Structure 1
């Protein structure tokens, strides 16, 4: 906790120990240890659990990171894929209100963003933080408003990873008036049968780095102090795509 709190104070949580090289490093391809043809029909078995199902405490807040969405109100859409290629991922996020015994929070505004299969973010680049220049595009970013069940859905691709960070999705939640309620991140289950391992072995789908050099949740600067409340459930297969389900509790 002490290291994470220190990094938060510097605004560097999630960048790892060296901010400058982490995104540059993500462009170097590592050999996948498993051929994708052997895993295309394998279903993820290590699915974790959706937070909020057994507790009514606010989900931990986390840094928005160095690449937050610049104009989220202009990106109201459920399909955030744009031109990015990769294994399909459906993202189902439920927002609950701790102040109402964790009842579903309708009308909440939910922004999400994540990197592409190669570890790059849109709206940034051409600098030491990210060598590839994607400053003029807006892939893998979107905004939706929760329905009566507190649910939003996004269509995307399975995120890749970059040095110093485990696979993750950023989330920023506002109330219906636009007041910020929580900035947090979603973690992915790991393990030999997990979607993270299966996806990163799928060179046929462009995931070329494998797991060599991957930072696991336990060593991630954001998740290393405990990940249970931020751990999603992920089901599916490389061939059929994956579905991520997660619940986030806010003080609405």
Structure 2
């Protein structure tokens, strides 16, 4: 893998990073983009690596990826916790098909880009395991992420149908943090991650969790999931390391959370795939 972890994985809280960005300005953070050795020091003293500049051709891909209609919300599932990692490349040592993920966040009322929002994503690896919860997500240790739903909702998705009660944040039981990370939206409302195509586990289709935070108090204004076309899932899972995990039992058509609006717009690119989607978030949480 072509990991670039030179300045990835710094443990900074979202509250402090947003406060720091408010002082230096987002332009100051993005000005260092494109330099491999670039870092930015916020007013709180944290040294943060800016995310890579979004290519011009990437912006054009957002047209038609979604509409200004409010993005569907789901419960966060049983495996969410604040991993405290502001980074773009979240792969660490996980093997799998490379996936570049680009998300544009817009305000659902103004239909314009939402800058300075924090977008957080997390998902399982090729074997269906979640970092920080490997025992639970494998079905070991009395919890059942890979089998029957643990308390608080279906594995990885929340209550069946996606509209039930919210699961509590997980207390991690190991020190792994792979396939978890957060980025701050630029002036166009865009963040970009490098990850791998997610695997699967019993009871859920293939998905990535996402959460959007705004404001100094890190208000959670959107919790949702991203899905993939099944023809692409089949293509990716025919190769290793995915092919070693057999017996997939749940697909988009029979998943309790899946909605068409959650499908990523996916294109092939050298070394893997690019997935693009637009989130329309209720940034003031007034229900519109």
Q: TM-score, normalized by length of structure 1?
A: 0.70
CA offset at residue 143 of structure 1? 0.5
Matched, 1:184 2:184: no
Decide whether the 8 Å contact of 1:95 with 1:150 is kept in 2: yes
Correspondence for 2:101: 91
Q: Give the distance between the partners of 2:63 and 2:70, measured in 1 at CA.
A: 10
Q: Give the distance between the partners of 1:55 and 1:158, measured in 2 at CA.
A: 25
Correspondence for 1:165: 204
Correspondence for 2:121: 112
Matched, 1:143 2:182: yes
Matched, 1:77 2:87: yes
Larger Rg: 2
Q: How does 1:1-252 map to 2 (within 5 A)?
A: 53=65, 55-68=67-80, 70-72=81-83, 74-100=84-110, 102-126=111-135, 127=141, 128-130=143-145, 135-177=174-216, 178-190=218-230, 194-203=231-240, 205-209=241-245, 212-223=247-258, 227-236=259-268, 240-252=271-283
Per-residue CA deviation, residues 195-249 of structure 1 (Å, 9 max, x unaligned), is 211110003x453235x434111200111xxx12211111217x72111111111
Q: Give the distance between the partners of 1:165 and 1:197, measured in 2 at CA.
A: 15
Decide whether the 8 Å contact of 1:166 with 1:220 is kept in 2: yes
Q: Give the distance between the partners of 2:207 and 2:186, measured in 1 at CA.
A: 24
- The ranges of structure 1 where at least 4 consecutive aligned residues each deviate by more than 4 angstroms after the TM superposition are 49-54
Aligned Cα root-mean-square deviation (Å): 2.3
Q: Give the distance between the partners of 1:61 and 1:51, measured in 2 at CA.
A: 21
Correspondence for 1:34: none
Q: What SS does structure 1 have at the residue aligned with 2:109?
A: helix
Q: Give the distance between the partners of 1:114 and 1:54, measured in 2 at CA.
A: 22
Decide whether the 8 Å contact of 2:100 with 2:274 is kept in 1: yes
Count of residue correspondences: 191
Structure 1 unaligned blocks of 5 or more: 1-48
Decide whether the 8 Å contact of 1:92 with 1:153 is kept in 2: yes
Higher relative contact order (CA 8 A, sep 6+): 1
Correspondence for 1:46: none
Per-residue CA deviation, residues 112-137 of structure 1 (Å, 9 max, x unaligned), is 00000000000113323258x97221
Per-residue CA deviation, residues 25-49 of structure 1 (Å, 9 max, x unaligned), is xxxxxxxxxxxxxxxxxxxxxxxx9
Structure 2 unaligned blocks of 5 or more: 1-60, 136-140, 147-171, 284-288
Correspondence for 1:20: none
Q: TM-score, normalized by length of structure 2?
A: 0.61
